[in-house]
Amino acid sequence: MTKNIIFILLLTTVFGSCQGQKKEDKLVKKSFDNYKSAILNDQGEEAVKYVDSRTIKYYTDILDKTKNADSAEVSELGLMDKLMVLSIRHRATNEQILSFDGEGLLIYAIKEGMVGKNSVANNTIGDITIDENFAKGQLVVNGKEAPFYFHFYKEEDLWKIDLTSIFPIAETAFKKMQQDSGQEENEYLLTILEMLTGNKPGDEIWNKIE
């Protein structure tokens, strides 16, 4: 009798754990889907509800560099960070830049199309692994599993996406594109900015914001 009770309790615990896992999996996927929908509809204020504190910190750091880094410091940045700083200086007015905080900058970047829709348009989240307040979701592109993962963190009882988790992959791909172009790094970035905005960047984008 005692053994039967213990077995039932163990079975209930395992079943409850599996049900809890499935519930959390759905919540992680829901967070990604909500973020994706907001990005595709240029809803910056909505999108930031689903990004984590690491992402906001990244944009806060980028904002600091945008305001304060001189040409030598900008040149030393990684390719994606450099593009981000130059792109903000090229698109936004000094008054706008000085008014931003990290979250405000991300909202602006989404509305201006600097956070690419193609990064989520045909993508979904596949298998999910959860370890307490951390989750890892496999990227599925056009229905095919990719060897890349988005990271999620549970903050304030909500699963939020860490956009910085895919930056190393994006940096590698972007660097390959620059090398294939045959252009020097800075020349390539200026070409990209002109293509994206239709306006030729001026030398002032290398200067800190006064």
Is 0.95 surpassed by the pTM of this model?
Answer: no
Task: Give the residue ranges of DSSP H helices in the chain.
Answer: 2-40, 44-47, 53-68, 71-75, 79-91, 94-99, 102-111, 167-181, 185-197
Mean pLDDT of the chain: 87
Residue 94: both structure tokens together: 């000094």
Average pLDDT over residues 159-183: 91
Q: Residue range 103-123: average pLDDT?
A: 84
Closest to 136 in 3D by CA, of 151, 154, 124: 151
Tally of domains within the chain: 1
**Bridge pairing between strands 158-162 and 144-155:** antiparallel
Given a cut of 80, whether residue 106 has pLDDT beyond it is yes
CA distance linking residue 63 with residue 94, whole number of Å? 12
**Residue 146: pLDDT band by 50, 70, 90 thresholds?**
confident
CB neighbourhood size of 203 (10 A): 7
What residue numbers bound the domain in which 19 lies? 2-206
Mean pLDDT, rounded, for 143-156: 92
Question: What value does the mean pLDDT take over residues 88-115?
Answer: 92
The pLDDT of residue 20: 52
- Tens digits of per-residue pLDDT, 33-66? 999 999 998 899 999 999 999 999 999 999 999 9
Question: What's the alpha-carbon Rg for the chain, to the nearest Å?
Answer: 21
> Which pLDDT score is estimated for 105?
95
The closest of 49, 50, 77 to 62, measured between CA atoms, is 77
Q: Is 191 exposed, middle or buried (0-12, 13-18, 19+ CB in 10 A)?
A: middle
- What pLDDT score was predicted for residue 115? 76
